[in-house]
Amino acid sequence: MTLITKAPRGTLDKLPSDTLKCRVIEENALNTAVAYGYREIRTPVFEHTELFKRSVGDTTDIVQKEMYTFDDKKGRSLTLKPEGTACVARAAIENGLFNEALPLKLCYITNCYRYEAPQSGRYREFSQFGAEVYGADTPLCDVELIALAHNIFEKLGIPANAYTIEINSIGCPECRRLYQDALKKYYEGFKDKLCGDCHERLERNPMRLLDCKNPHCGEFKSNAPVILDYNCSSCAEFFTGVKAGLDALSIPYKVNARIVRGLDYYTNTVFEFIYRDSSKSTDESFGLVFGAGGRYNGLIKELGGSDTAASGFALGIERLTTVIDKTGVFPLPQKPDIYIATIGERAAIFALKTAQELRRREPSIWAECDIVGRSVKAQMRFADKIGARFSMVIGDNELDNGTAVLKNMATKENKEIDLSNIDSFIG
Ligand code: HAM
């Protein structure tokens, strides 16, 4: 029995108070993205497993340990999407969207699935708002993306000093080859102290050594070579352009040479949006990465499309909710405009018809009436409980006279109104 009354580990029920917050974030993000030229795309919840192996990378933790993969009835291997970038890239290639005017800007809201160890802010089902740009291989494109995220945070009321934008450049494949060699050389010195996974990473994809969550392996990260030192001159110039663009827009950032990201498709610019709880002492202050992204110029070609530059980011909606709960202000939930309490059947039908008329208006008026069969006293208690702004009681007398008393529930002020004039109902 407990199995069916308990949600699966790592999942969250979003209750009405949570969904309201999600909607504020989602609507804000989508509306802000429109002003930058983004159009929304929706892709399936599952994809062919091969898509994520080829894009996220088959030596990453996501692909090796965290995917929800299953065979369908025809034996095809499918995977619940662990992220949105690969799916949007696949959809854009398949549907010929790169034939439209470039740059192509697409945004999405999607659930993602990763079999991670659940903890605060880390779930097995979570949602992302993502933005992806194709066909723009310039620092300005990356700057515009970061500016979009910054603008979304600003509109959501998150103070600029509550989070940092941390940026890095992981260079082109040639810079990365040199860096991987340097990393390999460095880690070879500790080979016998590394965990089993890291032994494999050392052979197959040394950059992933930096993602290891095992504290013993973590010790070696602080002295490991940093990728910025291996950027070639054109990658370094690109990164200078990103910094200059952010400076021009007065968007504060920090260069963090340790950001390498846990997905294999990135090239050049990478960035993270990090919230640090200032109420905790420095030691305990936890860094919550509530959004991240970067450039991924090789992915479209890798997936079978033409050579197309790409860059993007995704924000974790649950983590963004936490950040706003701690630093910003969510708008208060709406309350009903009017409760029409009734005595008798004639009045009940009148109230239902009147409520329907108010609800059909543009914008709708939130009207409530009794559909439970409560006494008038219980109806008024309910009106109070749900926080209705106005109320009125209708019975045969009111219907015969064509008038009723409208009560302002906050001020207790009463006003006689004409029942045939619906415009007078909400003050
Ligand atoms: P990511 O860093 O894996 O990047 O995820 C982006 C954001 O999703 C994170 O910053 C975090 O807020 C949220 N997130 C990730 N995993 C979890 C989890 N287990 N529970 C709750 N929230 C989570 C990507 O997914 C890339 N596709 C971003 C991107 C878009 N790069 C280019 N375009």
Q: What are 363-389's pLDDT values in tens digits? A: 999 999 999 999 999 999 999 999 999
Q: Shortest CA distance to 209 belongs to which of 365, 356, 200? A: 200
Distance between Cα 339 and ligand 1 center (Å): 44
* Distance, CA of 384 to CA of 298 (rounded, Å): 60
Confidence of residue 1 (pLDDT cuts 50, 70, 90): low
Query: Structural domain boundaries of the chain?
Result: 3-172+232-327, 338-425
Pocket test of ligand 1: the residue of 112, 120, 265, 299 to mutate, having most ligand atoms within 8 Å of its CB, is 112
Q: Which of 211-220, 284-293, 330-339 has the highest mean pLDDT?
A: 330-339
What is the CA(181)–ligand 1 centre distance, in A? 28
For residue 271, which of 166, 142, 357 has the smallest C-alpha distance? Answer: 166
Protein fold of 338-425: Rossmann fold (3.40.50)
Report CA(332)–ligand 1 centroid distance (Å).
28
Cα of 85 to ligand 1 centre, how many Å? 10
- Ligand 1 pocket by Cβ (under 6 Å): 83-85, 114, 116, 121-123, 126, 128, 130, 132, 289-294, 312-314, 316, 318-319
Residue to mutate (ligand 1; options 47, 83, 295; most atoms within 8 A of CB): 83
Q: Which residues contact 3 (CB under 8 A, 6 or more apart)?
A: none
- Tell me how far the alpha carbon of residue 291 lies from the centroid of ligand 1, in angstroms: 6
Per-residue pLDDT at 419 = 96
Nearest-CA neighbor of 89 among 48, 128, 133? 133
The residue contributing the CA closest to ligand 1 atom 10 is 291
Pocket probe mutation, ligand 1, options 61, 128, 164, 168, max atoms within 8 Å of Cβ: 128
CA distances to 35, 40, 313 from 147, in Å: 12, 18, 11
In angstroms, rounded to a whole number, what is the distance separating the alpha carbons of residues 276 and 284? 10
The answer to whether the 3-172+232-327 and 338-425 domains have the same CATH topology is no
Distance in Å, CA 160 to ligand 1 centroid: 21
- Between CA 408 and CA 395 the distance in angstroms is 19
DSSP line for 299-338: HHHHTTS----EEEEEEEHHHHHHHHHHHS-PPPPP--SE
- Testing ligand 1's pocket by substitution, the residue of 109, 289, 300, 317 carrying the most ligand atoms inside 8 A of its CB is 289
Residue 114 CA, closest ligand 1 atom number = 19
**Model confidence over 57-109: pLDDT tens digits?**
999 999 999 999 999 999 999 999 999 999 999 999 999 999 999 999 999 99
The pLDDT of residue 308 is 98
CA–centroid distance, residue 314 to ligand 1 (Å): 6
Cα–Cα–Cα angle for 263, 268, 273, nearest 5°?
65
Fold of 3-172+232-327: BirA Bifunctional Protein; domain 2 (3.30.930)
278 band by pLDDT with thresholds 50, 70 and 90: confident
Residue of the nearest CA to atom 16 in ligand 1? 122
Residue type, 163: Y
Give the tokens for residue 281.
Answer: 């002492």
Q: How far is the CA of 372 from the centre of ligand 1 (A)?
A: 45
Q: What is the pLDDT of residues 152-209, one digit of tens each?
A: 999 999 999 999 999 999 999 999 999 999 999 999 998 999 999 899 999 999 998 9
Q: Which of 350, 168, 180, 181 is nearest to 270 (CA)?
A: 168
How far apart (Å, rounded) are the C-alpha atoms in residues 264 and 284? 30
The pLDDT tens digits for 279-299 are 665 544 569 999 999 999 999
Task: Supply φ then ψ for residue 188, to 5 degrees.
Answer: -55, -35
Ligand 1 centroid, distance to 112 Cα (angstroms): 9
Cis-peptide into 331, omega within 30 deg: no
Q: What is the pLDDT of residues 389-399, one digit of tens each?
A: 999 999 999 99
Tallying the residues shown for the chain, one arrives at 427
Across the chain, mean pLDDT equals 95
Quote the DSSP letter at residue 423.
Answer: G
pLDDT at position 249 over 50: yes
